[in-house]
Structure 1
Amino acid sequence: MTRPDILVVEDEGPIAQFVGASLSAAGMSPRVVGTVRDARREWRDAQLLVVDLGLPDEDGLTLIREVRALAPTPILVLSARAQEAQKIEALDAGADDYLTKPFGVGELLARVRAMLRRAGASPLPAPRLQIGELDFDRESRELQVGGRPVHLTPLEFKLFERLSRTPGKVVTHRQLLADVWGNDQVDQLHYLRIYMGHLRAKIEADPAEPRWLLTELGVGYRLADE
């Protein structure tokens, strides 16, 4: 089996070594560079990028925007920048996921594996999505949880359907509001919170401890993919 080619763009030696060794031990083939300049020469052959934002020559956001303008290559951000606005900026720039330093090797590998799985899928969502006890049929607009039919209102359906296009991937508040309510409603966060509460009440066994509709605090929501 071919080992996935991962480009790690990280200038801090100990972190770069740790990430590289962890990916290699998990059966992947990492390459490590420490600058945006070097990443520009290397990224086209990679199946996934792991990118720090605080690089010595240019901001990692520059690289993310350049890559996303040219290719759908998955991008995972590893950064010490933990503020809400910084996470949103990276995700809106084109990153697929965001992991804050310090991080555990288990979470790093789980996110990389999930991103590699999604990268091999068709860019168009399949008519039917099955994840665990969730069974969602886009064409018939039917959702079942553990075999139990769940009735969704038109807005609830649009919200769940948007999250279901990219299981495991964070969708920012602004993206959800634009896609479900329209571009003129991107600042109406209370709409999103109300309808997410409705969805959780219908889908989750315990809405206060959601299993499927997960919150990325201050950033957005994701549909669990495993």
Structure 2
Amino acid sequence: MSATPLSIALVDDQALVRAGLVALLERQGIQVAFEAESGEELIQHLARQPVDLILSDIRMPGMDGIAALRMLRASGNATPCVFLTTFDDSELLLAACDAGAQGFLLKDAAPEDLQDAIVRAASGESLLQPVSTAPVRARYRYHAEDAPLALFSQREVAVLRLMAGGYSNKEIARSLFLAEGTVKNYVSAILEKLDTRDRTRAVLKAITLRII
């Protein structure tokens, strides 16, 4: 990391939250170039002032964080984005990934975890809770013949992400509002598609093949 502090855009509709984050980030040597309270305001500011990274809430009145990021990506803006949210929701994580986010953290994350996510995302890595994918991809490699036997549904990807976080079938069922038996069926289908015998190998293979 260079001596020049990272410059970020901070987006949250709550002024007190922004004030707390500004104080925290400045203590960590990260410069908040501007604040915005909506997706619309973020887009307007970025047109005038580029930054190294966007740190944004997901759910906001008006244009939310994901909608704003989709618009930015569609316009060719590739500024890395880390989303903060109070919602531990795998569907939000999937939506964040699909929109082009590099990071996804809960607002109760430790300050050092937030700093780490910002630095890594700004340098081009992905850090999405519950699993940091880049280190796993760097360690494990698969070849073309290891490609999935069939495409994955959005629900199967959601189950895979929770498997990656160490969630049990019971916990996955509660998180996704499914019956535990239904989750077991999803897990069996996932193992079959990835041609693996256990959950750990399935998760590692899914990460390296960029399924999650």
Same fold at TM > 0.5: yes
TM class by shorter chain equals: 0.5 to 0.7
Alignment of 1:4-19 (within 5 A): 4-19=6-21
Number of matched pairs: 156
Partner of 2:151: 185
Q: Are residue 94 (structure 1) and residue 95 (structure 2) matched?
A: no
For structure 1, the residue ranges without an aligned partner over 5 or more in a row are 120-130, 137-142, 144-151, 161-179, 201-212, 222-226
Identity across aligned pairs (percent)?
Answer: 18
Residue type at the aligned position of 1:16? R
Which has the larger share of strand?
1
Q: Which runs of 4+ in 1 moved over 4 A?
A: 213-216
- Structure 2: stretches of 5+ with no match in the other structure: 126-134, 154-188
Q: What's the CA shift for 1:189?
A: 2.5
Superposed CA RMSD in Å reads: 3.3
Q: Look up the equivalent residue of 2:196 and give its one-letter code.
A: I
**CA contact 1:20–1:32 (8 Å) conserved in 2:** no
Q: Equivalents in 1 of 2:94, 2:148: separation in Å? A: 19
Question: What secondary structure does 1:51 align onto?
Answer: strand
State the match for 2:38 in structure 1: 35
Aligned partner letter, 2:190: L
Q: Give the number of the structure whose residues are more often helix, by fraction.
A: 2
Normalising by structure 1, we get a TM-score of 0.58
**Whole-Å Cα distance in 1 between the matches of residues 152 and 111 of structure 2?**
35
CA distance in 2, matches of 1:60, 1:97: 13
Q: Contact between 1:43 and 1:49, CA under 8 Å: does it hold in 2?
A: no
Q: Which residue of 2 aligns with 1:173?
A: none
CA distance in structure 2 between the partners assigned to 1:193 and 1:26 by the alignment: 44
TM-score scaled by structure 2? 0.61
Alignment partners' CA distance in 2, 1:8 and 1:159:
43
Q: 1:51 and 1:135 mapped to 2: Cα distance? A: 27
- Partner of 1:76, secondary structure, is strand
Q: Deviations over 1:136-159 (max 9, x none)?
A: 7xxxxxx7xxxxxxxx7xxx3359
Equivalences for residues 51-200 of structure 1 within 5 A: 51-69=56-74, 70-118=76-124, 156-158=142-144, 180-181=147-148, 184-187=150-153, 189-190=190-191, 191-192=193-194, 194=196, 197-198=200-201
